[in-house]
Amino acid sequence: MGDGVSKPIDTKKVLITEDYIISKQVLGLGINGKVVECYKRDTGEKYALKVLRDVAKARREITLHVKSVSCRHIVQIKDVYENVYSGNKCLLVVMECMLGGELFTSIQERADNAFNEREAAAIMKDIVVAIAFLHGQGIAHRDIKPENLLYDKKGPGAILKLTDFGFAKHTGSDKSLNTPCYTPYYVAPEVLGPEKYDMSCDLWSLGVIMYILLCGYPPFYSNHGMPISPGMKKRIRNGKYEFPDAEWSRVSSQAKHLIQKLLNTDPDQRYNINEVLKHPWIDQNTAVPQTPLCTTGILREEIENWVDVKEELDRAIAERRIDEEQVKLKNVQASSNKLLERRRHKK
Ligand code: I85
């Protein structure tokens, strides 16, 4: 296909149950399938198993995930099995088990209330490294959210990793595209680019996560407790958020500056991942002031609302994906118009 992702996945054809004991314990539901605990028979080691129906979308997810595992901030894949399960072809992805749970749960569970800005910057750096790796490979994740950021273990020294490639997309930068296997007359403009609009939704999500890390509530729901209203939706669309003094007065202006560069509704003005890497708050994260944050306390207070917050975030990210798609289409139109203009000039 020349999309660079249709290479077959290296799968094992033996029954997974010969190698693993599959537990009934569900760890979560992904976009394309559910995740359960499993144990390697010979070692007794615990793993996470993602069960997917063998369809093109699942193959795409696995291919993009496999392509990303050389980054230490991406959840590792141990094995992929191809089995028939009650008449259905399935793909079974054995992953390292992330025993530390979700990012915000771990912040919430901290015994001390001493979560500070420097720690937030270190966490952000790890997420940025993961996204930079993906974007460097031409992969947009498109579902960067708290539930997809997991710690490998509990306690100090735990590594934060990104998971779920169910929405991930391989974009134009693939070399196989540069050696054309299509007749250029017929190629759709979006095949040639611009690819950055797929990437830019990851940066918006990064901005939302950074905001929550620094205060404990999301940027577009500052009047928490209130149900979703048309006004709030409009604020998301317009990128209208605030830094309420109660939680934000002591947060550094560098941090706020970076958030503003990420939560820009215009994807053309939004920072790309390389600009984020160069931003002093990320690049010199070890020198960020250790200002205490309200995050732990607010996450705890809001624990009953967290489920709603996660749902709303999901919706907001989905909306951003759609918006970006529209910008992309608009640009494609604009660029074909440019070609038309030039042609008219010649004539
Ligand atoms: N370990 N989005 C939310 C989980 N180890 N989890 C989700 N998509 C995935 C679940 C629903 C992420 O692709 C997901 C995916 C993969 C995992 C995953 C991978 C590896 C885990 C959907 C745990 C875990 C294990 C033991 C203990 C704990 C968590 O989830 C906890 F700390 F919570 F007790």
Nearest CA, atom 25, ligand 1: 99
Question: Which domains are present in the chain?
Answer: 16-96 (3.30.200.20), 101-346 (1.10.510.10)
> Are the beta carbons of 214 and 293 closer than 8 angstroms?
yes
The pLDDT > 70 percentage for the chain reads 83
Q: Is the pLDDT of residue 181 over 90?
A: no
| Beta-sheet pairing, 33-40 with 46-53 | antiparallel
> Are the beta carbons of 114 and 171 closer than 8 angstroms?
no
For residue 311, what pLDDT band results from cuts at 50, 70 and 90?
confident
Beta-bridged to residue 81, according to DSSP, are 12, 92
For residue 236, what pLDDT band results from cuts at 50, 70 and 90?
confident
> Are the beta carbons of 184 and 200 closer than 8 angstroms?
no
Q: Say what the pTM is.
A: 0.86
Least confident of 69-83, 96-110, 278-292: 96-110
Average pLDDT, the chain: 86
* DSSP for 14-66, written as a single string: S-HHHHEEEEEEEEEE-SSEEEEEEEETTT--EEEEEEEESSHHHHHHHHHHH
Widest CA span in the chain: 74
**List of residues 6+ apart from 72 with CB closer than 8 A:** 159, 161
* DSSP for 284-333, written as a single string: TGGGS---B-SHHHHHHHTTTTHHHHHHHHHHHHHHHHHHHHHHHHHHHH
Task: Report the pLDDT averaged over residues 233-237.
Answer: 80
For residue 127, what pLDDT band results from cuts at 50, 70 and 90?
very high
Q: Is the pLDDT of residue 188 over 70?
A: no
- Rounded (10°) CA dihedral 11, 13, 16, 18: -130
- What pLDDT score does 31 carry? 84
Q: Which atom of ligand 1 is nearest to the CA of 154?
A: 32
Which of 35, 68, 91, 142 to mutate for ligand 1's pocket (most ligand atoms within 8 Å of CB)?
35
Structure-model confidence comparison of residues 26 and 329, the more confident one: 26
**Positions marked active-site:** 143
Q: Which residues line ligand 1 (CB under 6 A)?
A: 27-30, 35, 48, 50, 75, 95, 97-101, 147-148, 150, 163-164
Q: Which atom of ligand 1 is nearest to the CA of 96?
A: 20
Taking the centre of ligand 1 as the mean of its atom positions, its distance from the CA of residue 211, in whole angstroms, is: 23
Task: Report the pLDDT averaged over residues 174-203.
Answer: 67
- What pLDDT score does 79 carry? 97
How far is the C-alpha of 252 from the C-alpha of 70, rounded, in Å?
34
Which of 27, 64, 93, 167 to mutate for ligand 1's pocket (most ligand atoms within 8 Å of CB)?
27
Q: Is the pLDDT of residue 319 over 80?
A: no
Task: Report the pLDDT averaged over residues 216-226.
Answer: 71
- What pLDDT score does 331 carry? 60
Taking the centre of ligand 1 as the mean of its atom positions, its distance from the CA of residue 98, in whole angstroms, is: 6
